[in-house]
Amino acid sequence: MAQEKKGAKPLGVALEEFRAGVSAVVELRDSGKLLIFVSPQAGVRFIVDSEAFAAAYEASLGEQKPAAQAAQVESEVADLLSLDLSGGGVEGGQQWAEFTLYAAGMREMEEATKGDARKLIRDKLSILEESAVTEGLRQRVRRLGVTRSPALEDLDVEIVSEKTDNIAEEVVPGPLARLTLRCSDKGTAGFPARWPGRVPSPVAGSAQPRDFAVEVDETDMELLLRRLREAKAMLSKALERGSKEEHHA
């Protein structure tokens, strides 16, 4: 493995630790406990319980590790996956990685050791390509790269115990859930800002934040859940029809 000068920023975790992290991501994804989410602003994120990831990581590695170590591995896997998608594969991902994620470490490294460092980065990206990168992820990146409609970033939930209507001077009974739909709007954004040290989103073009909040009770929540289930079923059927038509073409 590449050796770095004293005080240099490390080039991430060791290869076997990275491999165990990718295995944990794939295992949790396949069991429905982890969602790989790509968005214009945040890039690649893992929607997962941190304790569940730490447990799966330790099981794959075969030894216990501090929670901070598991969090570091999770972060590096997500960042490199974002760079792999940005570059369209190992070669392009490596160029992005040297320019952003590992830029500080590469600058401080002896020239003679940079070949080993580049091999380490390639090996990590290859591990991702073998198991974590899917055609579905690449299709999502392509779709988000060309659409001008607001794209979903996340959904925040806040419980409101009670609130006062200042006009009617009455207390509105609660509790209620305040749902804030966080989006990014590429239609009002300029060119993307990318500079050394910053891991870019794999989605082409920058995006401005755009939020929408609504307060709901249990009845509203039930309506939302029903409509979302119906929408998911409709989309699944459309995808299935598209797959069959492509197969017969």
Reported as a single tens digit per residue, the pLDDT across 183-232 is 988 755 443 444 445 677 888 666 678 899 999 999 999 999 999 999 99
CA distance 45 to 34: 10
Confidence band, pLDDT 50/70/90 cuts, at residue 242: confident
Round to whole Å and give the CA distance between 37 and 162. 33
pLDDT number for residue 195:
44
Q: Which of these, 166, 153, 160, 172, lies nearest to 212 by C-alpha position? A: 153
What are the residue ranges spanned by the domains of the chain?
Answer: 15-143, 148-248
Whether residue 152 is predicted with pLDDT greater than 60 in this model: the reply is: yes
Q: What angle do the packed helices 90-99 and 114-131 form, to 10 degrees?
A: 130
Q: What is the separation of C-alpha 74 from the centre of its chain, rounded to a whole number of angstroms?
A: 10
- Other Cβ atoms within 10 Å of 62 Cβ, number: 8
Mean pLDDT lowest among 11-25, 150-164, 220-234? 150-164
Mean pLDDT for the stretch of residues 133-161: 90
Amino acid at 84: D
